[in-house]
A and B are shown apart, each in its own frame.
Chain A
Amino acid sequence: MKKKGLKEFKTFPQSTINEIQRAAKEGIYQIRGLGAKRKVPDFDDLVFLGASMSRYPLEGYREKCNTSVVLGDRFAKKPLKLDIPITIAGMSFGALGANAKDALGRGASSMGTSTTTGDGGMTKEERGSSKYLVYQLLPSRYGMNPDDLRKADAIEVVVGQGAKPGGGGMLLGQKINKRVAGMRTLPEGIDQRSACRHPDWTGPDDLEIKIQELREITNWEKPIYIKVGAARSYYDTALAVKAGADVVVLDGMQGGTAATQDVFIEHVGIPTLGALREAVDALKELNMHRKVQLIVSGGIRTGADVAKALAMGADAVSIGSAAMMALNCNADLYRKDYEKLGTEPGYCHHCHTGRCPVGVATQDPKLEKRLDPKEGGRQLKNYLTTLTLELQTLARANGKSDVRNLEPEDLVALTVEAAAMARVPLAGTNWIPGFKEKD
């Protein structure tokens, strides 16, 4: 308990002092999992206006409100037709255990939506339990093979990740067991640091050719996504369209990771809010909005977040950290095991250790047993159902019979920063900082 009258250094709060002293002791940067812990402008800084004299609401419990979405119909012969605009983000087998991957597949499939592989290839468990499975093509190409490419329902070329734009994946030795090592063609127990650049292309012109190859191998059937970390989102989105993407996946800085440097998570990339607006600008300028679909991820937690992302112009969202939390990540269970890691429920970011107390981000058979894939799948289904109901509630309140009819005009901002980033007026004003109507 802090004594009365003591004044903390604003520049050097206790957490900063602790980190300086840890660095002085160990001489190496901090590695951790999950996403940014700093406060950034986010969807909480926006509110919907709802219906009023000039807008007509739909009956909240009775009138239909469509949630389905088609992804990838620009070039692919077989686009994905999802029942809800909420997908499960790429998370590797290796970072997560097989039970967690299985549970994600079960939950997503029961809601008619997709899940995504990760760095390390496709497991039979997740293919088996996933009605729609997106197969990632990452710089490492761990586990990449043409048979799995053909088994996939869509292909996601990963250029970057919101938690670490410009960085490759990382999986520390304690999680590289025999099966993970085998899938990645690596020795057991090494600290696996994936490449940050693709091995056989170096820019958007090359990527266009790479995508042509992927389409040739899969008979032009599979939608091709390009995933970028939120950085220069306007240009990255435009270049992804130019390279031939069917779908752009934009991952904001609040997005999670299995492991990377804390300095990377907290100091590289931009918040989802600003990135999303830039990406929509690019699509609209190219007359590609709704033709190339936009999936946004990074800090999506509630149906309100989903609704606000769609109102700003996204076609769908993707959830990673929240999906893990639906499987009990950071739940108040097995408290002693959190303590052994030096943390507690609500604060844990120790995915990198492989000692996940709730059996989600681990390869330890004993810990993994704590997650029953069937029960986990049911929890994820419940969570996705809740998000969908919240999304529909907000859409109806704004008079929309389709969630994708939500629009920026339905939103206002509560802070100047959010108003500028999202380019919606500050509540109670018609002021959008930094924006002037064209003459």
Chain B
Amino acid sequence: MNFDLSKKKLTDINKYLQNIDRKSNVRKFKIENPSGHHAICAGLKDDIDVTINGHTGYYCAGMNQKASVTVHGNVGTGVAENMMSGNVFVKGNASQSAGATGHGGNLVIDGDASSRCGISMKGINIIVKGSVGHMSAFMAQKGNLIIFGDADEDLGDSIYEAKIFVKGKVKSLGADCVEKKMDDKSINELRKIFKDLNISENPKNFKRYGSARKLYNFKIDNAGAY
């Protein structure tokens, strides 16, 4: 089923996609002429497949549950923010806060992602095939941020239990973020993610970063770390 955002209201399209008739066999949808609209495919909650042909604005596929959304274009701020499950594929670049606070599912960005990618992430897997901007994985709590390109300043600042994997260069690490051993467990985790998403990459080419856990509790001796 096709929707044309130049002819149909965003709210009507979102409402339709959020309330799929489970008896219907139609599970694949296309949205044409997104024209940078915000909140396209926000709040989807069914196992459906949506293709968006063009660029989207803020919060595309925000709070997604179960759905698979593919954007053939660039996306604005907060793509797949607070995603719970499902998959979001971005064929272009992403603006800031991609995958912010995401709890689950996979966000795959073929291009670059701007600053604060994966900020406060809570279990999502974010794969960026290009590079990421500064303060990515800031306060990241859980999940994996996998970067094929480079990472800008202050990667993983104040990180909790999330894992960061970088193939390229890291300009600098943020407070309490350190390089960790790329152990077998991490290699196997990465291998599984790549396999599930049909990505051909060797996990051994990545370096791993995570929390030094020195700032988890107030200690006056660590006050200068920030």
A interface vs B, CB < 8 Å? 26-28, 140-141, 144-147, 149, 172-173, 184-187, 189-191, 195, 199-201, 206, 209-210, 212-213, 216-220
Cβ–Cβ contact B161 & A144, under 8 A:
no
Cβ–Cβ contact B81 & A200, under 8 A:
yes
CB < 8 Å neighbour of A144 from B59, B101, B119: B101
Chain B contacts of A213 at CB under 8 A? Answer: 38-39, 42, 58-59, 62
Is the CB of B11 closer than 8 A to any CB of chain A? yes
Chain A contacts of B87 at CB under 8 A? Answer: none
User: How many Å from the CB of B88 to the closest CB on chain A?
Assistant: 14
CB < 8 Å neighbour of A173 from B139, B217, B223: B217
Cβ–Cβ contact B38 & A212, under 8 A:
yes
Is the CB of B57 closer than 8 A to any CB of chain A? yes
* Chain B interface SS verdict (over half): loop
Closest to A145 in B: B84
Return the CB mask of B71-100 against A: 1 if under 8 Å, else 0. 000000110011010000000000011001
Cβ–Cβ contact A212 & B39, under 8 A:
yes
Chain B contacts of A218 at CB under 8 A? Answer: 43
The 3 closest A-B pairs by CB, nearest first: A217-B43, A200-B78, A141-B101
Of residues 176 through 221 on chain B, the ones whose CB sits less than 8 Å from some CB of chain A are 216-218, 220
Cβ–Cβ contact B63 & A217, under 8 A:
yes
CB < 8 Å neighbour of A206 from B45, B77, B141, B142: B77
Cβ–Cβ contact A141 & B82, under 8 A:
yes
User: How many Å from the CB of A135 to the closest CB on chain B?
Assistant: 13
* Chain A interface SS verdict (over half): loop
Is the CB of B160 closer than 8 A to any CB of chain A? yes
Cβ–Cβ contact A209 & B217, under 8 A:
no
Cβ–Cβ contact A199 & B84, under 8 A:
no
Please report the C-alpha to C-alpha distance between residue A238 and residue B139 in the assembled complex, in whole angstroms. Answer: 31
Chain A contacts of B58 at CB under 8 A? Answer: 200, 206, 209-210, 213
Closest to A190 in B: B216
17 example contacts (A-B, Cβ-Cβ < 8 A) are as follows A144-B82, A145-B82, A145-B103, A186-B141, A186-B161, A187-B216, A189-B217, A191-B218, A199-B116, A199-B120, A200-B101, A212-B38, A212-B39, A213-B59, A216-B39, A217-B43, A217-B62
Chain A contacts of B141 at CB under 8 A? Answer: 184-186
Please report the C-alpha to C-alpha distance between residue A161 and residue B120 in the assembled complex, in whole angstroms. Answer: 21
Chain A contacts of B174 at CB under 8 A? Answer: none
Chain A contacts of B217 at CB under 8 A? Answer: 173, 189-191
Cβ–Cβ contact A209 & B101, under 8 A:
no
CB < 8 Å neighbour of B11 from A26, A28, A220: A220
Chain A contacts of B138 at CB under 8 A? Answer: 199
